[in-house]
Amino acid sequence: MTMQNRLTVQALQWTGDALKVLDQRQLPEKIVYDEYKDAEGVTEAIASMRVRGAPAIGIAAAYGVVLSVRKQYAQSNQWRKKVAADIDMLAKSRPTAVNLFWALDRMKAELANQLENPLAAMLACAEKIHADDLAANHKMGELGADILAGAKGVMTHCNAGALATGGYGTALGVIRSAYQRQRINVFAGETRPWLQGARLTVWELSQDGIPATLIADSAAAWLMKSGAIDWIVVGADRIAANGDAANKIGTYSLAVLARQHGVKLMVAAPTSTIDWTIENGDKIEIEQRNPNELLPACYSEKGSLVSAWNPVFDVTPAELISAIVTERGVVLNPSEHSMRGLKNAI
Ligand code: MRU
């Protein structure tokens, strides 16, 4: 079996009457799947980051709508109202990844058209969102690997892998495809404070037999100075119409450092991550999470003079990005103008 056909680790599994979610908070020590049978459970799974990563959040929410229809359709003739309330609840689970709202909008549109057999139609729509994302990842993998031809080393940040998507990954999909063509040195930043790089990325790559070297986030500048990497490859949570890209906190710092050191930055993301309604990244809502994710327990006591600021995404301006890779094509040196070319091609 080629690496591309091999089944990478799965964040989400539909069982026929429930959604199984791999609890990413427990990785890599424990592989535990939780089973959800209603939209409330799926909302909590997203908010608590059992499932995380922009495309995976959207896919999980789509299955959440299926579970809602399944429950409410059988119970009440007011079911459409109740499903609409569940969709609103799912939409409030996390604010930054636009894939969440994109997937919910698709499910809403499908529901509006279904009078006869809504459950079957909604499940088909969620499964299509899931399958299309996986196919998009493979396409991006090939396009991104073309660009990385000849590169000796790459660095990634956070986890934009199979765990964060329908499978295969965006940034890690590109790295997987590139590694298949030629051995390439892969570095991953720890990604404080939640440690997606240390707990998820290097583990996920090792599951696929791809060696990776973990670095402290603060070692990135020194790594770039050493000449070991040619590219930084990351995913995105929301890309504005001018190419500004929101991704895990720390991506912006890497982009600034990359420019200083002649390293290039690639953002790999499906077109479902592009928010054409906002002209630039200033309009992207940046999620602030609980300071306790950052604060050592001794400081979280009442009366402590120590607080924490915990924005979990930042926005990298388009001018610091060398390439945005989507399943519908590559935008080099993104700008409002070049992004419009992609939009017109979709
Ligand atoms: O807070 P997270 O772990 O959901 O953040 C995830 C990221 O920032 C990813 O890089 C992004 O969602 C792309 S995943 C393909």
In the reported structure, the alpha carbon of residue 114 is separated from the centroid of ligand 1 by a whole-number distance in angstroms of 33
Q: Is 124 marked as a binding-site residue?
A: no
pLDDT of residue 63: 98
pTM: 0.96
The 3-state secondary structure of the chain reads CCCCCCCCCCCEEECCCCEEEECHHHCCCCCCEEEECCHHHHHHHHHCCCCCCHHHHHHHHHHHHHHHHHHHHHHCCCHHHHHHHHHHHHHCCCCCCHHHHHHHHHHHHHHHHCCCCHHHHHHHHHHHHHHHHHHHHHHHHHHHHHHCCCCCEEEECCCCEHHHCCCCECHHHHHHHHHHHCCCEEEEECCCCCCHHHHHHHHHHHHCCCCCEEECHHHHHHHHHHCCCCEEEECCCEEECCCCEEEECCHHHHHHHHHHHCCEEEEECCHHHEECCCCCHHHCCCCECCHHHCCCHHHCCCCCCCCCCCECEEEECHHHCCEEEECCEEEECCCHHHHHHHHHHC
Q: Which atom of ligand 1 is nearest to the CA of 312?
A: 1
pLDDT of residue 2: 44
Q: Which fold has domain 3-134?
A: Four Helix Bundle (Hemerythrin (Met), subunit A) (1.20.120)
Q: Which atom of ligand 1 is nearest to the CA of 57?
A: 4
CATH 3.40.640.10 for the 139-345 domain, yes or no:
no
Query: Pocket of ligand 1, candidates 46, 51, 247, 252: which has the most ligand atoms within 8 Å of its Cβ, to mutate?
Result: 247
Q: Which atom of ligand 1 is nearest to the CA of 196?
A: 3
pLDDT of residue 5: 46
CA atoms of 251 and 24, how far apart (whole Å): 21
pLDDT of residue 116: 76
In the reported structure, the alpha carbon of residue 314 is separated from the centroid of ligand 1 by a whole-number distance in angstroms of 11
- Residue 218 CA, distance from chain mean position: 23
Q: Name the segment(s) of the chain with CATH classification 3.40.50.10470.
A: 139-345
185-189 and 274-275 beta bridge pairing: unpaired
What residues does ligand 1 touch, defined as CB less than 6 Å away? 52-55, 97, 158, 160, 164-165, 170, 196, 234-237, 247-248, 312
pLDDT of residue 7: 60
CA atoms of 46 and 24, how far apart (whole Å): 11
Query: Pocket of ligand 1, candidates 175, 237, 253: which has the most ligand atoms within 8 Å of its Cβ, to mutate?
Result: 237
Query: What residues in the chain have per-residue pLDDT under 50?
Result: 1-5
237 is catalytic: yes
pLDDT of residue 70: 95
pLDDT of residue 4: 44
Q: Look at ligand 1, atom 15, and give the residue with the nearest C-alpha.
A: 160
In the reported structure, the alpha carbon of residue 110 is separated from the centroid of ligand 1 by a whole-number distance in angstroms of 27
In the reported structure, the alpha carbon of residue 74 is separated from the centroid of ligand 1 by a whole-number distance in angstroms of 35
Q: CB of 191 within 8 A of CB of 203?
A: no
In the reported structure, the alpha carbon of residue 115 is separated from the centroid of ligand 1 by a whole-number distance in angstroms of 36
Q: Look at ligand 1, atom 10, and give the residue with the nearest C-alpha.
A: 235
Q: CB of 90 within 8 A of CB of 97?
A: no
Q: Is 54 marked as a binding-site residue?
A: yes
Query: Pocket of ligand 1, candidates 23, 52, 99, 140: which has the most ligand atoms within 8 Å of its Cβ, to mutate?
Result: 52
Q: Which of 208, 237, 275, 314 is catalytic?
A: 237
Q: Is 248 marked as a binding-site residue?
A: yes
In the reported structure, the alpha carbon of residue 44 is separated from the centroid of ligand 1 by a whole-number distance in angstroms of 17
